[in-house]
Amino acid sequence: MSPLLIIEQTLNGLQFGVTLFLMAAGLTLVFGVMNLVNLAHGSMFMLGAYALVMFERLTGSFVLGLLCAIPATALVGVVIEVLVMRTLYRRDHLDQSLATIGLILLLNEGVRIVWGKLPLKAALPAAVSGSVEILPGVAYPVFRLVVIAVGVLVALAMWWLVTRTRIGMLVRAGASDREMIGMLGVDIKKLCTIVFGIGTALAGLAGMMAAPIIGVQSGMGDNVLILTLVVIVIGGAGSVRGAFIAALAVGLFDTFGRVLLPPAVASMVIYILMAAVLLWRPQGLFGQHA
């Protein structure tokens, strides 16, 4: 493999990895604080992509569409948390899984009814629609570099939120002992709603970043959810830091595996990585600590 191809595939792996991190960060927060198995998290990815397309068409601007779609997706998450998820917190993981699988089917069919069965695509603004020469002879799409930058900025923002703010302190405390902070006067319902809204917004943002690259269609988040669960298992449930490192590792392993290995083997690479990590550290790279 030539050095130029290595650079290009490394960037592809990083771009895929930060997209997975946006998904995994939200899901690991929800699981860590609420102990909620939300298999409908991939549907939030899908709703974010559709929200971007809708608002982009309404405003005529990708940036304005993005700025409108993020809070709109978070609001949808808040509504879902209040109407559906709040009833599942005291149920076991099997009940949570079955309920959220039903939610997947409902949301997938809902977007088919509203937007139709044909794939849609977000139109990029001219400023980020071309390529830029990052090294002599190496041209790379500008928007993919933007996705990498957004992922890194979100990771830094998540680190600041979790480690330097009051809500981050409550999130970390809730992940350790939710009942105890409730006894200390913290409004657990409000905290769960905020965390679920943030998680939904992050998943929606991942879908928005993917919308100009892949087709926006019903069920588009289902496969991404599987990879997100792999990331969380590798990084450690409840660990944002683990989600970031594991997402980059999965993105790079998956990308280089598809380039270097036969298709049948390439599709197994990330699962082999997950098995190897679990043999070494059954709790994942960073256990239960955010």
Q: List, as one string, the DSSP characters of 211-264.
A: TTTS-B-TTHHHHHHHHHHHHHHHH-TT-HHHHHHHHHHHHHHHHHHHHHS-HH
pLDDT value of residue 211: 93
40-63 mean pLDDT: 95
* 101-115, 117-131, 237-251, 255-269: range with highest mean pLDDT: 101-115
Per-residue pLDDT, averaged over 270-284, amounts to 91
Tell me the average pLDDT across 66-76: 96
Reported confidence tier of residue 33, pLDDT bands at 50, 70, 90: confident
Q: What is the DSSP letter of 123?
A: P
- How many CB atoms sit inside 10 A of residue 109's CB? 12
Is 44 within 8 Å of 204 (Cβ atoms)?
yes
Percent share of the chain, pLDDT over 70? 97
User: Sorting pLDDT into bands at 50, 70 and 90, what band is 289?
Assistant: very low
Q: Flag the least confident range among 31-45, 95-109, 152-166, 180-194.
A: 180-194
Domains and CATH numbers, the chain: 3-280 (1.10.3470)
The answer to whether residue 290 scores a pLDDT higher than 60 is: no
Phi, psi of 212 (to 5 degrees): -75, -10
Q: For 73-119, what is each residue's pLDDT tens digit?
A: 999 999 999 999 988 888 888 999 999 999 999 999 999 999 998 99
Contact present, 250 and 231 (Cβ < 8 Å): yes
Q: Tell me, what DSSP letter sits at residue 186? A: -
Q: Please, what sign has the CA dihedral across residues 162, 166, 170, 173? A: positive
**Local structure of 53: helix, strand or coil:** helix
DSSP of 92-114: -HHHHHHHHHHHHHHHHHHHHHH
For residue 135, the cross-strand partners are: 138
Taking residues 165-172, report their average pLDDT.
77
**pLDDT at residue 175, as a whole number:** 64
pLDDT (mean) for 20-40? 86
The residue among 251, 285, 287 whose CA lies nearest residue 270 is: 251
Backbone dihedral region of 131: left (phi > 0), alpha (psi from -120 to 50 degrees) or beta? Answer: beta
As a dihedral over the C-alpha atoms of residue 232, residue 161, residue 249, residue 204, rounded to 10 degrees, the angle is: 70
> What local confidence, expressed as pLDDT, does residue 37 receive?
87
pLDDT tens for residues 52-62? Answer: 999 999 999 99
Q: What is the pLDDT of residue 247?
A: 95
Q: Is the pTM of this model over 0.75?
A: yes
Q: What is the mean pLDDT of the chain?
A: 89
Q: What's the pLDDT tens digit per position in 177-236?
A: 667 777 777 777 888 899 899 999 999 999 999 999 888 999 999 989 999 999 999 998
